[in-house]
Amino acid sequence: MDHRKLPDDPKAEWSISLVSSLIMKHIRAHSFNMVLTFDGSGVSGHANHIAIHKAVRHLASTGEVPNDCVLLSLVTVGLLRKYVSVLELPLSWLLPSHIFCITGSQGYKQAKAAMLCHRTQLLWFRYLYIAFSRYMFVNTFHVIPQGPKDLKIF
């Protein structure tokens, strides 16, 4: 999304209210039944990713999200686990997990194509990410519990 108040900048503070209203607008417009987001660590500590997580958590607490829409947050793993690629698969399988997703070769190709669409973002280390990151092959998610539908939290 290209929004002047939401610059792609890890130093920029995004308004949780604005982000949550935009997310809710898309959930309603497209009748989404699932939202996948970053966790509170934002995978790499990226402030924009963390703001998106906070916005989704806010929506979960307000009861605005439709009952049939599941909210999931990606589990951030440590640096070693992040870059062992498919070798991370058995460990993820054995550890207590919540929702486990393997992308497979087709999913990897789609993720790689998506990364390559953002040429201005492709610094040298992102090529290593494409080749070795476990997030290109396997992901684990937590369910974000939704609060009471009649409770408003501010």
For residue range 100-149, list pLDDT tens digits in order: 666 677 888 888 888 888 777 788 888 888 888 888 888 888 899 997 65
User: Tell me, what's the pLDDT at 69?
Assistant: 95
Q: How far apart are CA 99 and CA 40, in angstroms?
A: 17
Q: How far is CA 53 from CA 2, 39, 135, 150, in A?
A: 18, 6, 17, 22
One-letter amino acid for residue 87 of the chain: L
Q: How far apart are CA 105 and CA 117, in angstroms?
A: 18
User: Tell me, what's the pLDDT at 97?
Assistant: 60
Domain residue limits, the chain: 11-74, 78-143
For residue range 46-102, list pLDDT tens digits in order: 899 999 999 999 999 998 999 899 999 998 888 888 888 777 777 776 766 666 666
For residue range 10-33, list pLDDT tens digits in order: 888 999 999 999 999 999 999 999
Q: How far apart are CA 23 and CA 128, in angstroms?
A: 31
User: Tell me, what's the pLDDT at 15?
Assistant: 96
**DSSP state letter for 143:** E
What's this model's pTM, rounded to 2 decimal places?
Answer: 0.79
